[in-house]
Amino acid sequence: MIHQILGPSSPTKLEKDLAFKVLQKNKEFSSKEQKKEGEMATKEELEEKAEDCETTEEFVDLAKEVLSDLSDKKWAANLIEEGVEWAETTDDFIVLAKGSFEVLEDKEKSKEYLLQGRDYCMNAQEFVNLGKTASDMGDAEAAKEIFSAAQGKCVKVKDFLDLSKSINEVLSDPDLAKETANKALDKCSTVADYNEYARSVLDVFDDKNLAKEVYDKAVETCKTGDDFGVLAKGVLDNLSDRDLAKSIYMKAENLIDSGTDLIKLAESAVADLEDEEYARAIYKKSEGKLESGDDLMKLAESLMGKLNDKDLALTVYKTAETKFSGYENYIKLAKAAFKDTGDAAFAGSVYKKAAGTIQDSSKIVAVAAALADEIDDKQGAFDELKRAEQFVNSVDDFKKTADAILKYADDEQWINAINDQLEKREAHKDLYKDFVGREQECETSKSLSVLAHEVIEKTSDTHYARKLYKNAETMCTYFPEYLHLAGAINSDLNDADWIRTIYEKQLEKCDDSHKYNDLADGIITTLQDKEWVKNIYSGLEEQCAKETDFIKLARMVLAKLGDQDWAKKLLGKAEEKGQDIFGYTIVGWAVLDILADKEWADSIYNKAEANCNNRDDYEKLISEVQKQTGDDDLLRQIHNSAENKFGETRDFIYLAESILRRFSDNPWARQVYAKAEKASDANTYMFELATSIANKLDDGKWAARLRNM
């Protein structure tokens, strides 16, 4: 039998003892069952049972049996006293008190046990059980004493409230119940505490005014939207007072400075106050307090979840867009906005903005798929796939991009181009592996252009070459780089539209004649479009402001277009702009150099001579004409004009020396020196004149005569 209790393993001595006791108890139970109904136990049997008692409850039960079967009150009292020695818990003393009350009818002893049991109470509930027992036995004084002591074991708000409720139910003592409840109020620190307290006030005291006072105090402790919402819900649940609840929301609305907390408050206004319009107003207020895109997205999601307000949610999503940057953020925004509002236009624009932030072909392909599959923007998908082609950096990248193009594109030419590239890459695997590797290493426009040309030479893959040239264009910085690129594109792709676009952009950057000349060369060489060059030059003519502007343009017109008539008109305008010696000499030389029109040039030089008023002016003119033309006849003509204009000694000295230096014409020089001697100011400069004659004509006699005058 012991093995049946302990199992097959070998039992210890302690286990054997325990098993033996179990068997004994079973035996006693069995013997009891065999008693006939109404049969009384003998003293010997009860004494035997007394020896087996090990708990307070067993002693009290036996005392009841002794009193019932033997009417031995003294022995019953002794058994109860003996049970005290085994008492370890409040419940044990409750059993003792009930035993003394029911068996011995000893109220004093019962009260003694109850008060003794008070010292064993571990928590408020045990005090409640003890106090209820005292009340049940009619000892109101002991019950009140016990319930008062119970307050010392209350820790949490709920402890006080439960105790207050028990006091009210057991003692019907509203004063003590309220006193206990008030202590709970002092313990309240959270909204949940105040809600529980208010509910208890209503349950126990049915005092709505006190409950409202509790809520008024609770408002002061609220800090977050959740706090205010929970409190307002408590008002609605416990008092059904919408006005008070609404006032809490309004106070919260003015106190809360957090947009996130206002969202929570609005959610509560929908769920608990059931006032969607008021909630909408709170939602709108929260938007202005949210700084991050993520928080604004949460607002939009809440608007959809609580109000299903697509228009307002879309407005919020658009505000969120202004707060975001980066591919991942834009993607999640586009997906959420389309899922919630169904606005394809906005979602599409955000998807495209996401694609615009990166140069990763795989991610751009993902955007294209979203545009095509989610919002049915086929054209937008095509545009992104074309961009993706430009950022393919590996064989795998190309395969993914190509698969997407073949899946979504409906342009046969494009599809054929992709298939053509797939075939070429399959046929020249090693070459393309090398091409792609070198492409990643290219750091200049020129290196990419060289690679593109090699691709054409070795594979005739115009599609890949086009992509390389497009990337090369993005690397161009300087004017010559763009012109070189246009020439390369012309040679390998013969794409006149693309070349024209490059030239149009560079035309805006032209700021000197050299650039205009180089651009015109490029246009004529690659596009053979002289009409465009003519239009460019016509535009330049309108911008010409001085003679040099017209001269430069005349040179370009004649050099690039061979249009002599136009060049002549431009030089005519240059002549009209001439106002001084320098201006006329420049124009005169241009007419001679560009058109070889000596007669016209001489007439312009004559205009320059007409502006000469002193020897410095003439020296400037003579020097320029000599340098520009070397025309002795013209130079003599200018010297002759000067001779006729001059009247002072020093002017004649300068002129005579110039004639000797430039023409070695002694007779003419003597003639001019003679005029110098006769000038009105000759006496002042006689020594200077004599020195010049001696040095330049080597005529000592004339010089001596002048010195002796």
pLDDT digits (tens, 9 = 90+) for 464-512: 999 999 999 999 999 999 999 999 999 999 999 999 999 999 999 998 8
Q: Which amino acid is at 34?
A: Q
pLDDT of 24 higher than 70: no
Asked if 475 contacts 445 with a C-beta cutoff of 8 angstroms, the reply is: yes
Q: Which of 402, 344, 413, 351 is nearest to 375 (CA)?
A: 344
The whole-number pLDDT of residue 29 equals 44
Distance CA 415, CA 558 (A): 48
Distance between CA atoms of 114 and 117, rounded to whole angstroms? 5
User: What residue has token string 């002991």?
Assistant: 142
Task: Give pLDDT, residue 34.
Answer: 42
Non-local CB neighbours of 496 within 8 Å, separated by 6+ positions:
490, 526, 527
Domain positions in the chain? 1-32, 48-137, 154-219, 222-323
Q: What tokens were used for 138?
A: 């009619």
| 607 band by pLDDT with thresholds 50, 70 and 90 | very high
The confidence score (pLDDT) of residue 38 equals: 53
Lowest mean pLDDT, pick from 23-32, 295-304, 656-665: 23-32
The proportion of the chain whose per-residue pLDDT surpasses 90, expressed as a percent, equals 53
Q: How would residue 23 be classed by pLDDT, with cut points 50, 70 and 90?
A: very low
Residues 301, 288: contact at Cβ < 8 Å? Answer: no
Q: How many CA atoms lie within 13 Å of 551's alpha carbon, on the beta-carbon side?
A: 20
Rounded percentage of the chain residues whose pLDDT exceeds 70: 92
With contact defined as beta carbons under 8 Å apart, do 120 and 90 qualify? yes
User: What are the helix (H) ranges across 324-444?
Assistant: 327-341, 344-356, 361-373, 378-390, 395-408, 412-427, 429-441
112: three-class secondary structure by DSSP: helix
- Rounded to an integer, the average pLDDT of 181-186 is 70
Tell me the pTM.
Answer: 0.54
> What secondary structure, in 3-state letters, does 207-270 show?
CHHHHHHHHHHHHCCCCCHHHHHHHHHHHHHHHCCHHHHHHHHHHHHHHCCCHHHHHHHHHHHH
CB-based contacts of 212, cutoff 8 Å, min separation 6: 239, 241, 244
Give the C-alpha separation, 512 to 662, whole Å: 38
Q: Tell me if the domain spanning 222-323 has CATH number 1.25.40.
A: yes
Q: How far apart are CA 336 and CA 397, in angstroms?
A: 28
Element (H, E) at 22: helix 13-33
- Range from 42-46, 99-103, 404-408 that averages highest in pLDDT: 404-408
The pLDDT value given to residue 157: 65
- For residue 709, the tally of other CB atoms under 10 A from its CB is 10
Average pLDDT along the chain: 86
User: What pLDDT is stored for residue 528 in this prediction?
Assistant: 94
- Mean pLDDT over residues 222-229, rounded? 80
